[in-house]
Amino acid sequence: MKEYKTSQIRNVALISHNGAGKTTFVERALFNTGATTRMGNVQNGTAVMDFEEEEMARNSSVAAAIAPIEWRDHKLNILDTPGFADFIGEVNAALRVVEGALVLVEAVAGVEVGTELVWHAAEQQNLPRVIVINKMDRDNVRAQRALNSVRDNLKGNFVPLQLPIGEGPSFKGVVDLLSMEARLGDKDERSPIPPDMVEAAEAAHMAVIEAAAEGDDALMEKYFEEDTLPDEDIVRGLKLAMQQGLCVPVLYSAPQAGIAVVPVLNAIMRLFPAPDEVGPFTAVAANGDTVEHPVSDSSPLAAFVFKTREDPYGKMSYLRVYGGVVESDSRVWDANADSEVRVGSLQLLRGKEQIPIPRLHAGDIGAVVKLGETGTNDTLCDRGRKLKLEAIQQPPPIAQVAIHPVSQSDVAKLSQSLNRLVSEDLTLHWHTEQATHETILAGMGNTHLEIAVKKAQQKFGVNMTTSVPLIPYRETITRTAQAEYTHKKQTGGAGQYARVFLRVESLDDDAGFEFASEIFGGSISAPFVAATEKGCRQALDAGPIAGYPVVGVKAIVYDGKEHPVDSKEIAFQTAGREGFKKAMMEAGPIMLEPIYMVTITVPSDNMGDIMGDLNTRRARVLGMDQDGTKSIVRAEVPLAEMQAYSADLRSMTQGRGVFSMVFQNYGRVPSHMQEKIAAEARARREEHNTH
C-alpha cells in the first residue's frame, strides 16, 4: 500500500446497534476496491473483520477491527466496532482516534437501544456524523418509517443527501441530491433521475443547499444573492455545518447486494475532515503544562496507543499518530512508563492481515508488535520532548463474576492471564476480595465476562469456572463495651501468662481500625502493649457474627497484668485477640453491606415498572430526570440486590434500558436479614473445613 499524506487520510468509526450491517459494509468496501478477491460473509465466518474465534462462533463482532481502504487517491481508515452494548469500551477507543462517525441504522428495525448508546458516545466526542440507513433491500423496509425513527429518537438536524429508488427487494439505487443524478445497481451506474422523482428531488436538493449555507456566513450571503450554490460550495458548507454539529447527512445503502456503497465511500472522503482539518491536538508536556500542536509531520512526535490485542505469541499495539512520523525500526520514548521503547516493524492491519510499511504519517493509524511494557493509553514521543495525550474515558463495570481456577497449574497462571485480559480490555477489572477470598472479574455485562473467560482459555490456556460472587460484607459495633481476658498456659517449665482489660468504641462505619493505650504506671510494659495491638489486629480479619472483616472500631487497652517469668509477647497477642472478640460481642455488633449509586436510563413508558422493581430491591431513590423520551432514575441500592440486574433490566425494558453503577459506601444490613446471612456464612465455612 502506498504512503498517504495527512490531508489524504480519513479516519472514520462505523458504529451502530448489533446487526445493523457494519461488518458487511466493510467487506463490500474491501471487495469493491479490490483489497479482497471475494466478499467475506459474517454468517459463515469468512468476514475479514471478524477474525477472533469468538466472533466466528457468534457471527458478530466483539472487538474493533481496522480496514484501510484506498479510494480515489485517499486512504479511508475504517474502524469496524462491535454493536453489542457490553463492548462499549471498544467503541469508545475507536471514537477517540477518528475524526468522524458513520452511524448505521438497520432499515427495518430503525433506531435501537445500541444506536442511542453509540450516538451519545459520538456526541460526547463532538464528532461529525453521517447516518446510513442500511440493508435497504430487506423485506418490509419502509424508507420513510426508518427516517422518522432517526428523527424521533436521536438529536440532530437530519438532512437526506439521497432519496432511495425503490425499497425492500425492489431497492435499485439512490438519487444523489448533490450531483442530481441517479446511481443504480452494484456497478453504481449514473443515469437521469426517474421522472416520478424529479419534483421530490428538487425540493430535497434545496434543503441540502440550505443546510450547507448554515455552515458558513459567506456561503449564506452567496446563497441569498444567487438562490443556489455550486457543488463544491455545498460540500464545503456541509462539511463545516457537520463539524459545528448543525447538520447530520442521511444516506441509504444495501451492502450485501452492493447497492449504493460507492456513494457512501464518496461521502466519507468528501464530508469528513482530514486529521489536519480539525484543529490542533492537545497534550501535557513534561513540566505539566498543556500544549497544542498541529496534526502534522513537522510537529513533535506524539503517537497514542488506543488498543492492545494479546495473542499467544505476544501483543499487538494499535497506534494513532497525532504529531510527527513514526518510523519502522526506531527508538521512541513511552511518556507514561518513562522509558525507551523499540518500535519494530510497523504494520497496517486489514482485519488480522498485516501489511508492513516503512512509516506512519501524522493522522494515520497502524500497529506494531511487541512494544515492551507499553500499554493502552500510553503516548509514544521523543525523549527530548515528552508529551502525554489524554487517556480514553471508560465507564465503570456493572457486572462481576467470581473466578475459580480448575487445576493447580491454572492457579499458577491465573493472575498473569487476568493481567493480560485487563491490559487488552480496559473495561475489564480484577481484584482479590479480602472479605470473601474470591478472585473477582468485573466488566460491562454477562456476555462480556463470558467472552473474557473463554479468551483466557483459548489464548492463554487457563481453565476456570465462574460463580455469582459472594457479597463482601463487613462487621462493626454500635456502642462502647469492655472485656477482660486472661491467657494462662502451664506446660512443663516456663508457662504463658497475660491479662488485658480492653474497651472498644464505635467509629464511623467507613473508618478503619484504631488502637490506643491508657496504661499508666507500667501495669503492662511497652512491648506487651504492642503485642496486644497485634492480637487485636489479628481479630479484624474475621468478625464475631459471620467471620467478615471488622471496620469502624477503636480498641483501647486500659489495664492488665504481667508475670515476671511467664509473660511473653505471644501470650499478650492471644489475650489481645480473644479479649477483642469478647468486647465486640458485648458492643452490639452489626453487619454492613456495600451500597452502590445506580443510574438507570429507560424509555418513559417503562418508568412505573422500574420504580416498582426498585422498591423490591431496598433502593433509596434520590432523584428522577427527563431527557427527551427517556427517564433517568438515580438511586442507592445494596450490591446484594443488583447481582442479576443486567438481565432483569433487559427483560423489563425489552433491551431498551441501560444502567451504570459506582460504589458509594457501606450501609447497615437490616437486622431481620443479618441472622440469615450469618448462618449462610457459617455453613460455608463448615463445608470448607470439612473438604
Tens-digit pLDDT profile for residues 660-686: 999 999 999 998 999 999 999 989 888
Chain segment 473-526, per-residue pLDDT in tens: 999 999 999 999 999 987 766 789 999 999 999 999 888 999 999 988 878 999
- Residues with Cβ within 8 Å of 238's Cβ and at least 6 positions away in sequence, in order, are 159, 161, 208, 211, 212, 215, 247, 249, 271
Average pLDDT of the residues of the chain: 93
Chain segment 268-298, per-residue pLDDT in tens: 999 999 999 999 999 999 999 999 999 999 9
In DSSP terms, 625 is beta-bridged to: 632
Q: What is the pLDDT of residue 46?
A: 83
| Mean pLDDT of all residues in 550-579 | 94
- Residues with Cβ within 8 Å of 204's Cβ and at least 6 positions away in sequence, in order, are 160, 163, 177
Nearest to 242 by CA among 205, 206, 267, 276: 267
| Mean pLDDT of all residues in 184-202 | 95
Query: CA torsion sign, 604 to 609 to 612 to 616?
Result: negative
User: Domains in the chain, please, with CATH?
Assistant: 6-190+245-277 (3.40.50.300), 281-388 (2.40.30.10), 399-470 (3.30.70.870), 475-588 (3.30.230.10), 591-672 (3.30.70.240)
Angle value at C-alpha 279, between 275 and 283, nearest 5 degrees: 90
Residue type, 105: V
In the chain the first and final C-alpha atoms are separated, in Å, by 62
At 33 the three-state DSSP class reads: coil
Element (H, E) at 105: strand 100-106
Element (H, E) at 315: strand 314-323
Query: How many of the other CB atoms lie within 10 Å of CB of 124?
Result: 11
At 481 the three-state DSSP class reads: strand
Q: What is the pLDDT of residue 216?
A: 87
**DSSP H helical segments within 125-248, as ranges?**
143-153, 198-213, 217-226, 231-243
User: pTM value?
Assistant: 0.89
Distance CA 211, CA 175 (A): 18
Distance CA 225, CA 661 (A): 55
Q: What is the pLDDT of residue 404?
A: 95
Question: Number of C-alpha atoms within 13 angstroms, CB side, residue 206?
Answer: 8
Whether the per-residue pLDDT at 646 is higher than 90: the answer is: no
Residue type, 442: A
Q: Give the distance, in angstroms, between the CA of residue 277 and the centroid of all CA atoms in the same chain.
A: 28
Residue type, 691: H
Joined grid coordinates for residue 606: 417503562
CA–CA distance from 337 to each of 378, 417, 598 (Å)? Answer: 8, 21, 34
Q: What is the pLDDT of residue 484?
A: 96
β-strands 330-334, 379-381 pairing:
antiparallel
Joined grid coordinates for residue 118: 453509540
